[in-house]
Structure 1
Amino acid sequence: MIQSDATFGGTFAFAPYFTDAPAFRMHFVDEGPRDGAVVLCLHGEPTWGYLFRHLIPVLSATHRVIVPDHMGFGKSETPATRSYWLQDHIDNLEKLVLGLDLTNITLVMHDFGGPVGMGLAARHPDRIRRFVSTNGPTPFGQADLLARVTGNAAVSPWFRWIAQAEAEGNLEAVLGQLSFNILSTLKLNGFENNAIITDDWLAAYGAAFASPAECLGAIGWAKGFAIGAHRFEAPDAAAARAIRRRPALAIWGDADRTLHAAQFLPLFDAVFPGARVHRLAGVGHYCLEDAPEIVNPLISAFLSQT
């Protein structure tokens, strides 16, 4: 767990907030007017709220921007006795949202933040106003979801490594050393913008994983795929109808080697037919890191236009 007052050379100078609503100490950023429409930013593997550090100031002038760290990531606690499957992260997010009584929410989702956010939407469609996928899958009960996840895993270096490491019995050992191999893990997933790598940047992404015991979140997300433990939330008919009417935007770095557009953008199109899709050539999996100068104005314009 990263220290609550850590700013990494001033690159993440946002006041820390915490809640015990999910039965662990969950950190979140809460910037902007408290009566503003909510933007809820959801990170994935193996990142934390730091991923959204450039977006937060852009949107918080007019919106209440909330950026939680999932259990086992960032400044949130890593309980030793909890499981770290998709359904656990959905449960935790639901408790945060209900505890803060958040409504009128725009979801900004990256990586496994996509399934977590869509799980929240399936349970509480009335609380969600818009969707933004930034290289974040939007599974929502599609019949071909398993086939697309399986097809993606066959060509993704990250998912192929997960399967091999689990079969050889060294997945926990490797991911338990993320503080040392964080850059190689990010690169394997498809981080492209080498120009932004600094000591502060490396420290920010590695600090949450200072020991194997603090890597349970990252291990759990990977292992859950290897053993089939994750459970995608399926909406009921009323929730599905409600969500399909919401404005949505997809921004996808086409150089993503982990989540291939050919497999996952059809999931987005199926839920949000006719929604805007921006494919960014040369931009990788971490589009918010690779091209914030493109991604952030697209999100800001989307909020102002819908």
Structure 2
Amino acid sequence: MVARTVHRYLDVDGVRVFYRESVPERSGAPVLLLLHGFPSASHQFRRLIDVLGARYRLIAPDYPGFGHTQAPDGFTYAFDRLADIVEGFVQRLGLSRFAMYVFDFGAPVGFRLAERHPEWIAGLVVQNGNAYAEGLSDAARDFIALRPGQDGAEETVRGLLTLDGTRGQYETGVAGVEAIAPDGWTLDQHFLDLPGRKEAQVALAFDYHSNVERYGAWQAWLRAHTPPTLIVWGRGDPFFPEPGARAYLRDLPDAELHVLDTGHFALEDRLPEIAPLIAAFLDRLQP
């Protein structure tokens, strides 16, 4: 059965947060907070919501600087601030216990949330969401080392914000690119080309080092709280290679790990494999 999905806005500290939410058939269904990546938005979860949203309450917000969310002039684009807005969003919705799907940028946002509110986190679905040094490719390390004012640094970041750069993130590492619909990168680029959005992404790129600096704290959180965890990873990801997936097992030896022959946006071509894994995982979380 295809889920019924609603699309709404919620004001959080002056940010008009857009989100999409499924309406499950029964009350009290497990909640999964879907935290998107770069350079995408909640639309990357549309098909997953269609498939699973009738059984589970799936909620996907757009961060400031992404998708349909509208941030005021002067908003500071940093990962701490993205986490502040998502934290306020969760509080405004009245959520008190849920699983999190953390992907790409969703990992640093989600792990900040987990540090602040461990009581909220019933479980983790980690899909190419890195928290370990060995999960950074050489290209990712070079990118993270960029700093404002460094010769050519901003131009390097802006090179990723072009249509070719956006499309490449969808297709790199994917065996059969005919399975990747062009809608995703086309919509991402539409949002990237809105006024002020590229400046927001440049600021976040220069702040990415703050995430790497917190890896040790996030690993300690995982060891301390041992949340039930499902790891689904595209091994062809040019930014976050397979060792980043396996590194989670050091701190979460009971985690369920699936490495798939795909790239960064694994849901684009591997939804038929990933959706049942998530459904079985959410069912196991129920008391």
User: Which TM bucket (shorter chain)?
Assistant: 0.7 to 0.9
Deviations 1:208-250 (A, max 9, x none): 112451223422321213xx45563847x8x767621x31110
Alignment of 1:64-103 (within 5 A): 64-103=57-96
Deviating 4+ runs (over 6 angstroms) = none
Residue in 2 that maps onto 1:214? 197
**Aligned-residue RMSD, C-alpha:** 3.0
Q: Structure 1: which 5+ runs fail to align?
A: 1-12, 140-144
Is the CA contact (8 Å cut-off) linking 1:152 and 1:260 kept in structure 2? yes
Residue in 2 that maps onto 1:21? 12
Q: Structure 1 residues 91, 168: CA separation in 2 closer, same or farther (over 3 Å shift)?
A: same
Deviation at 1:168, TM superposition (A): 2.6
Deviation at 1:187, TM superposition (A): 5.0
> Is the counterpart of residue 259 in structure 1 residue 240 in structure 2?
yes
Question: Is the partner of 1:277 in helix, strand or coil?
Answer: strand
> Is the counterpart of residue 31 in structure 1 residue 22 in structure 2?
yes
Q: Structure 1 residues 212, 273: CA separation in 2 closer, same or farther (over 3 Å shift)?
A: same
Is the CA contact (8 Å cut-off) linking 1:107 and 1:128 kept in structure 2? yes
Q: Give the whole-Å Cα distance in 2 for the aligned partners of 1:170 and 1:99.
A: 38
Q: Give the whole-Å Cα distance in 2 for the aligned partners of 1:274 and 1:300.
A: 18
Alignment of 1:1-306 (within 5 A): 14-33=5-24, 35-137=28-130, 139=131, 148=133, 153=136, 155-161=137-143, 163=145, 167-171=150-154, 175=158, 178=161, 180-186=163-169, 190=173, 194-198=177-181, 200-211=183-194, 213-225=196-208, 228-230=209-211, 232=214, 234=217, 243-244=225-226, 246-266=227-247, 268-280=248-260, 282-306=261-285
Q: Give the whole-Å Cα distance in 2 for the aligned partners of 1:47 and 1:262.
A: 24
Is the CA contact (8 Å cut-off) linking 2:122 and 2:228 kept in structure 1? yes
Deviation at 1:18, TM superposition (A): 0.9
Deviation at 1:42, TM superposition (A): 0.4
TM-score by structure 2 length?
Answer: 0.83
Tell me which amino acid in the other structure corresponds to 1:254.
Answer: R
Q: Structure 2: which 5+ runs fail to align?
A: none
Deviates more, 1:165-174 or 1:41-50: 165-174
Q: Structure 1 residues 217, 293: CA separation in 2 closer, same or farther (over 3 Å shift)?
A: farther
The aligned length equals 277
Tell me which amino acid in the other structure corresponds to 1:219.
Answer: V
Q: Give the whole-Å Cα distance in 2 for the aligned partners of 1:179 and 1:14.
A: 31
Q: Give the whole-Å Cα distance in 1 for the aligned partners of 2:144 and 2:110.
A: 23
Deviations 1:184-210 (A, max 9, x none): 452587566521455533432212112
Question: Is the partner of 2:15 in helix, strand or coil?
Answer: coil
Deviations 1:50-74 (A, max 9, x none): 2111211222112111001111001
Is the CA contact (8 Å cut-off) linking 2:5 and 2:23 kept in structure 1? no
Residue in 2 that maps onto 1:5? none
Deviations 1:111-143 (A, max 9, x none): 121121121111111121111101112x4xxxx
Is the CA contact (8 Å cut-off) linking 1:38 and 1:63 kept in structure 2? yes
Tell me which amino acid in the other structure corresponds to 1:203.
Answer: T
The percent identity for this pair of structures is 29
Q: Give the whole-Å Cα distance in 1 for the aligned partners of 2:166 and 2:117.
A: 36
